[in-house]
Amino acid sequence: IKMLLFRYSTAVICAVFIVTGAVSDEKKAVLGGTVSFSPAKIDPPVNSIIWKHRNSETVVKAIEWDDEGFNTPNQRFKHITTLNEKTGEITITNLTINHTGRYTIDINSKEQAQFFILTVMERVRKPVIEIERSSNPDVVYLRCGYNETMIWKNSTGETLQGTKNHLLGETITVKNTRNPGNYYTCTLKNAVSEETSDPVFERDLFDGKTVNYFSIKYQRRKSESDHFVCLGGAEMLFSI
């Protein structure tokens, strides 16, 4: 029984060590943007700092500092990378997709347990809503044909549920509410950006074809009650 308890305790200790042994910080940044990473702590005296970048193919030095000064040996990081030798913080500007990867820091020639994961992403484009007519003149379909996360909204700010079919993106069904000021938008989002389409107004979807306008003619006849005539080709009921 004692042996079993000892093995169990050892397993727990090992498990805790694995979980807490390396602390990571994951960031997503926009293409052309800026990112900074800082070590959790840096204990003096510090004689040298090296930041390394790992991707699926290579490991390179992003920037290094020692008593001879700063050096940026890799072209990928030249002129866009700075290092604060007191805090250990690295800053990279004008990010490209090639900066995606894992970053580690060596302090006094010893690699620290902490590491950082960077993913550089492109901004989403501004979406354009496509209009698809139906056989029903009071119904149209709006489609946003993109891969990104999509948010449909109407002019009241209500979020609408889009549907997926065999085409790329999502579609919503719009019914004619006889309110030409109503509009609909599609917003694309990813982890670093979002863009919203120009609004599509109901007046541009239905062209007013289903809105009927009438004129009323007033006629007064002798020995008869007042008479109103609707000049619109439709039956109307008036109450006076």
The two tokens of residue 98 are 């090639």
Phi-psi region of 48 (alpha: psi -120 to 50; beta: other; left: phi over 0): beta
User: What is residue 96's predicted lDDT score, i.e. its pLDDT?
Assistant: 98
Which residue ranges make up each domain of the chain?
24-121, 130-206
Name the CA dihedral angle for 63, 64, 69, 74, rounded to a multiple of 10 degrees: -40
Q: Tens digits of per-residue pLDDT, 75-128?
A: 999 999 999 999 999 999 999 999 999 999 999 999 999 999 999 999 999 999
Residue 120 CA to residue 112 CA, distance in Å, equals 23
Do 129 and 187 form a contact (C-beta atoms < 8 A)?
no
Cα dist. 112→18, 38, 52, 88 in Å?
15, 12, 11, 12
What average pLDDT does this structure show over 20-39?
A: 87
Q: Which amino acid, 40?
A: A
Q: Tens digits of per-residue pLDDT, 185-212?
A: 999 999 999 999 999 999 999 975 543 3
Computed over every residue of the chain, the mean pLDDT equals 84
Evaluate whether the domain defined by 130-206 bears CATH number 1.10.150.120: no
User: What is residue 208's predicted lDDT score, i.e. its pLDDT?
Assistant: 59
For residue 217, name the pLDDT band (cuts at 50, 70, 90). Answer: very low
Please tell me the total number of residues recorded for the chain in this structure: 240
Four-way CATH pick for 24-121: 3.40.47.10, 2.60.40.10, 3.30.1600.10, 3.40.50.150: 2.60.40.10
User: What is residue 57's predicted lDDT score, i.e. its pLDDT?
Assistant: 83
Cα dist. 211→2, 117, 177 in Å?
87, 57, 10
For residue 10, name the pLDDT band (cuts at 50, 70, 90). Answer: very low
User: What is residue 8's predicted lDDT score, i.e. its pLDDT?
Assistant: 37
Q: Do domains 24-121 and 130-206 have the same CATH topology?
A: yes
User: What is residue 239's predicted lDDT score, i.e. its pLDDT?
Assistant: 44
User: What is residue 2's predicted lDDT score, i.e. its pLDDT?
Assistant: 43
Q: Is the pLDDT of residue 141 over 70?
A: yes
Q: Tens digits of per-residue pLDDT, 117-130?
A: 999 999 999 999 99
